[in-house]
Amino acid sequence: MKAIVVHKENAEPRLVWEEVADVTYGPEEVLVNVKATAVNRADLSQARGNYPPPPGVTDILGLEMAGIVQAVGERVASWRPGDRVCALLAGGGYAEQVAVHLGMLLRLPEEWTFAQGAAVPEVWYTAYVNLFLEGSLQAGETVLIHAGGSGVGTAAVQLARQEEATVFVTAGVDFKLDFCRQLGAALAINYKQQDFLEAVLAATQGEGVDLILDPVGADYLDRNLKALRSNGRLVHIGLMGGRKAELNLGLVLGKSLRLVGSRLRPRPLAEKIAITRQFEEQVWPLLQSGQLRPIVDKVFPIAEAQSAHEYVRQNKNLGKVVMRIED
């Protein structure tokens, strides 16, 4: 089969669509012909050697996919060849085929494109887990979502509004802020033009927000803590703004704050299956009905993975960047 292989040239990776060994699958797995996959910042980090896959996981990039079941393991009764599916992966999505545990699959609606299916698992699971399971978001609370125009951001805005929370977002360009307002954000802050801390405190009469979802990290830590109200929660899901920062424990203790570091990929399979089942019950019906929707910005052919990565690296995307795999 073919897959994207990372070739290192000096400091920059080169992504090449080329022949690799075929995938094998176990008795509780299904073999899927991948029709679409998607780009995540974790893929960019892995391609540069900064985010190795968990032990035992393929080094082929790709944390989600949509496709058609080709074959099933001997213990699989719930899926059959020809089924249209999508799934969260620990790796391997940038390939013609991937092996997936039967418990990780979602059935793709017939009216959905494979691009839509590939745009869901990584970012929607991330938003769901960190808003509700980690962040304990409740109706009537206020959440600040950094990078609101990203794949995770556009999913998180919709999920928080569905829960009847008030949503604030940050982004660096006006068209992303405008789109977040269309999704239901009550406050959209251009962080390049305004200090988000000042904007948040002004909008909340100095009280702050209940929850912050943050992919930035060090650069935002102090202002995030100051932007939280008493008993607020800060959930870190990325480190785009650095790894190290000074922590003001006086703020943490004085306001009874909770800081959470959260990753999805390294979680045990059993935990990810449980998350999949919760998502399937609570969120998947809303996506199927159109009450919520995956936001697909652009679709690249898989052979143009290099361009797709660069597009995301430059923060051009609004929502998800998908790559299609043609027969």
Domain with CATH 3.40.50.720 in the chain: 123-261
For residue range 67-105, what is the model confidence (pLDDT) as tens digits? 999 999 999 999 999 999 999 999 999 999 999 999 999
Q: Which residue has the tokens 């008795």?
A: 27
In the Cβ-directed half-sphere of 191, how many Cα atoms lie within 13 Å?
Answer: 18
In the predicted model, is pLDDT for residue 327 greater than 70? no
* CA end-to-end distance (rounded Å), the chain: 11
209 strand-pairing partners: 228
For residue range 121-145, what is the model confidence (pLDDT) as tens digits? 999 999 999 999 999 999 999 999 9
Q: Which residue has the tokens 């998502």?
A: 279
Burial class for 241, CB neighbours closer than 10 Å (0-12, 13-18, 19+) = middle
Among residues 172, 173, 140, 170, the alpha carbon closest in space to that of 156 is found at: 170
Q: Residue range 106-132: average pLDDT? A: 97
Task: Supply the pLDDT for residue 129.
Answer: 98
Task: Supply the pLDDT for residue 126.
Answer: 98
Is residue 148 very low, low, confident or very high in pLDDT (cuts 50, 70, 90)? very high
Tell me the two tokens of residue 236: 């870190």
Tell me how far apart the alpha carbons of residues 297 and 8 are, in angstroms, rounded to a whole number: 28
As assigned by CATH, the class of the 123-261 domain is alpha beta
Tell me how far apart the alpha carbons of residues 86 and 33 are, in angstroms, rounded to a whole number: 11
In the predicted model, is pLDDT for residue 171 greater than 90? yes
Task: Supply the pLDDT for residue 186.
Answer: 98
Tell me how far apart the alpha carbons of residues 122 and 279 are, in angstroms, rounded to a whole number: 12
Superfamily in which the 2-120+265-324 domain is placed by CATH: Medium-chain alcohol dehydrogenases, catalytic domain (3.90.180.10)
For residue range 22-55, what is the model confidence (pLDDT) as tens digits? 999 999 999 999 999 999 999 999 999 999 999 9
Among residues 5, 131, 112, the alpha carbon closest in space to that of 66 is found at: 112
In the predicted model, is pLDDT for residue 9 greater than 80? no
Task: Supply the pLDDT for residue 71.
Answer: 98
Whether this prediction's pTM lies above 0.85 is answered by: yes
Task: Supply the pLDDT for residue 11.
Answer: 75
Task: Supply the pLDDT for residue 326.
Answer: 83
Q: Which residue has the tokens 């929660």?
A: 233
Q: Cα-flanking dihedrals φ and ψ of residue 84, to 5°?
A: -90, 125
Domain with CATH 3.90.180.10 in the chain: 2-120+265-324
Q: Residue range 109-123: average pLDDT? A: 97
In the predicted model, is pLDDT for residue 314 greater than 90? yes
For residue range 206-235, what is the model confidence (pLDDT) as tens digits? 999 999 999 999 899 999 999 999 999 999
For residue range 238-288, what is the model confidence (pLDDT) as tens digits? 988 888 999 999 999 999 999 999 999 999 999 999 999 999 999 999 999
Task: Supply the pLDDT for residue 160.
Answer: 98
In the predicted model, is pLDDT for residue 200 greater than 90? yes
Return the amino acid letter for 95: A
In the predicted model, is pLDDT for residue 10 greater than 80? no
Q: Residue range 310-318: average pLDDT? A: 96
Burial class for 48, CB neighbours closer than 10 Å (0-12, 13-18, 19+) = middle
Among residues 250, 200, 262, 271, the alpha carbon closest in space to that of 229 is found at: 200
